[in-house]
């Protein structure tokens, strides 16, 4: 079984104390050591640690000074301060500065050190989970990013709205970046479970061993680093929704365990024997064709049918071009507000480029392109030159019909907003009056005033 090890940095100017703590902790943790506070600070700028244990009295930089520096630069990394017996006031001051806990020297026993370290690390895991849940409640994953001008997206949203109130398992399909997680959150927010947790797991981001522990939790001692029992994502999502992204990447063994949870609503933690019952609504997503994986024996057929109770497909942007400009304008407005800058607008030429690009990265790529263009643009207008190089202007012979339709719509809209005044229309479109007259004739619009 793959070992899961937290990393700990021990800072103490006494070599014997460093060696003692390393000997106590290195069986269960990856331990690095520093001879003083300044050396510890240097190590912290070079690599990430899950926990720091520092002596209070050290040359160059004291423990309290190190805590103060970490609170400013590494606020999410917990610190345990070691202080001499009888100097409790120093420890209290360190706690006020942001230390997670303290220990007095000399240590009473190795178990005391292990206990405090385990408690602080478990608290960090808990706080990380709460951060995810709090982010959801604060709307940091906005469902407003679903823009549906195209019929295909309107259909997807209508299906989602119909099934949201049910406990039915939903399978979301579509290419990467099409917004499957956003739609999953939409389903959760529209369901009776909206007050409970929405928990997301990317099945492709973790090894089989880690994914099993992440989903089902583990008991103390189940593997190296399992210093305390821990709830899995199914338990954390009890009463709410569990989103399993990239479900096709799950191993066959885990597929069998997932099938059991879907059927029986129960499971055991890794290393445990107690059966845990949960009430969880599962939404799965994939960018791969599950039917072909089933035919090749790469995905369990019984699990496929259990997941595919209510499928919803999210089309790629190239198949719903009507949504591209509205999405771009939506991202533009949101990013302008976030950056604290004045209003910005897309020129007609920029809209044309955006509409005719195929967007292999879909909505995610479009959002990134708009953000980059905002940074590069030298005026309040975003032109094709401001767009990323991977968003080239399409060749006219490849998309001439689509481009003509887009340009025609833009001209009609501008004419209408300017009450038929061609001079003002040409100015709004940033083209010459002669070019406008040529386009009007080309598109059969010469009868318009």
CATH value at residue 118: 3.40.50.2300
If phi > 0 it is left, if psi is from -120 to 50 it is alpha, else beta; for residue 151 that is alpha
Q: Are residues 101 and 158 in the same domain?
A: no
CATH classification of the domain holding 414 = 1.10.8.60
Q: Tell me, yes or no, whether 449 lies in a domain.
A: no
Domain stop point among 315, 336, 365: 315
Q: Tell me, yes or no, whether 2 lies in a domain.
A: no
Distance of CA 144 to the CA centre of its chain: 16
Q: Which residues does 255 contact at the CB level (< 8 Å), separation at least 6?
A: 299, 300, 303
Q: Are residues 285 and 183 in the same domain?
A: yes
pLDDT over 70 at 76, yes or no:
yes
Max CA separation in the chain (angstroms)? 95
Domain residues for the domain of 325 are 319-442
Q: Are residues 357 and 435 in the same domain?
A: yes
Q: Are residues 88 and 163 in the same domain?
A: no
Share of the chain above pLDDT 90, in %: 39
Distance CA 382, CA 375 (A): 10
**Confidence (pLDDT) at 322:** 93
Distance CA 292, CA 312 (A): 18
Domain stop point among 315, 335, 363: 315
Q: Tell me, yes or no, whether 12 lies in a domain.
A: yes
Domain stop point among 315, 348, 371: 315
Q: Tell me, yes or no, whether 75 lies in a domain.
A: yes
Q: Are residues 157 and 65 in the same domain?
A: no
Q: Tell me, yes or no, whether 331 lies in a domain.
A: yes
Helix (H) or strand (E) holding 33: strand 30-34
Q: Tell me, yes or no, whether 143 lies in a domain.
A: no
The predicted model gives 32-44 an average pLDDT of 91
User: pLDDT digits over 90-131, tens only?
Assistant: 767 777 788 888 888 888 788 888 888 887 876 666 555 444
What pairs with residue 285 in β-bridges?
172
**Confidence (pLDDT) at 173:** 96
CATH classification of the domain holding 282 = 3.40.50.300
Q: Are residues 298 and 334 in the same domain?
A: no
Q: Are residues 232 and 247 in the same domain?
A: yes
pLDDT over 70 at 136, yes or no:
no
Q: Are residues 340 and 411 in the same domain?
A: yes
Q: Are residues 416 and 334 in the same domain?
A: yes
How many domains is the chain partitioned into structurally?
3
User: pLDDT digits over 316-370, tens only?
Assistant: 999 999 999 999 999 998 888 888 888 899 999 999 999 999 898 899 889 888 9
pLDDT over 90 at 170, yes or no:
yes
């Amino acid at each position: 079984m793959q070992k899961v090890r937290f990393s700990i940095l021990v800072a103490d100017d006494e070599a014997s104390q460093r060696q003692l703590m390393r000997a106590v902790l290195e069986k269960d943790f990856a331990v690095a050591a520093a001879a003083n506070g300044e050396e510890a600070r240097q190590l912290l700028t070079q690599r990430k640690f899950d926990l720091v244990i520092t002596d209070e009295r050290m040359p160059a930089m004291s423990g309290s000074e190190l805590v103060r520096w970490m609170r400013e630069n590494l606020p999410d990394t917990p610190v345990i301060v070691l202080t001499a017996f009888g100097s409790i006031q120093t420890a209290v001051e360190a706690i006020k500065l942001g230390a997670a806990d303290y220990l007095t020297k000399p240590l009473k026993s190795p178990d005391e050190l292990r206990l405090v370290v385990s408690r602080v690390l478990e608290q960090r895991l808990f706080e990380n989970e709460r951060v995810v849940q709090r982010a959801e409640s604060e709307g940091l994953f906005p469902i407003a990013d679903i823009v549906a001008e195209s019929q295909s997206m309107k259909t997807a949203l209508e299906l989602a709205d119909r099934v949201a109130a049910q406990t039915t398992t939903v399978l979301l399909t579509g290419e990467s970046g099409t917004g499957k997680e956003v739609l999953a959150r939409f389903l959760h927010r529209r369901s009776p479970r909206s007050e409970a947790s929405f928990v997301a797991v990317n099945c492709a981001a973790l090894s089989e061993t880690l994914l099993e522990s992440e989903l089902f939790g583990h008991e103390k001692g189940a593997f190296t680093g399992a210093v305390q029992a821990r709830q899995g994502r199914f338990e954390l999502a009890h009463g709410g929704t569990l989103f399993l992204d990239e479900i096709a990447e799950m191993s066959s063994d885990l597929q069998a365990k997932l099938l059991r949870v879907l059927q029986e609503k129960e499971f055991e933690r890794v290393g445990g024997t107690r059966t845990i019952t949960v009430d969880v609504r599962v939404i799965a997503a994939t960018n791969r064709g599950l039917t072909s994986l089933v035919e090749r024996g790469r995905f369990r057929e019984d699990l496929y049918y259990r997941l595919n109770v209510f499928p919803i497909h999210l089309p790629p942007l190239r198949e719903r071009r009507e949504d591209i400009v509205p999405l771009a304008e939506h991202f533009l407005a949101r990013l302008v507000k976030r950056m604290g800058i004045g209003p910005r607008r897309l020129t007609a030429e920029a809209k044309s480029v955006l509409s005719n690009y195929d967007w292999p990265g879909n909505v995610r790529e479009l959002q990134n392109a708009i953000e980059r263009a905002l940074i590069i643009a030298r005026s309040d207008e975003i032109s094709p030159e401001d767009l990323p190089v991977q968003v080239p202007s399409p060749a006219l012979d490849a998309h001439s019909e689509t481009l003509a339709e887009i340009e025609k719509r833009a001209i009609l809209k501008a004419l209408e907003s300017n009450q038929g005044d061609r001079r003002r229309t040409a100015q709004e479109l940033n083209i010459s009056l002669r070019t406008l007259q040529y386009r009007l004739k080309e598109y059969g619009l010469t009868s318009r005033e």
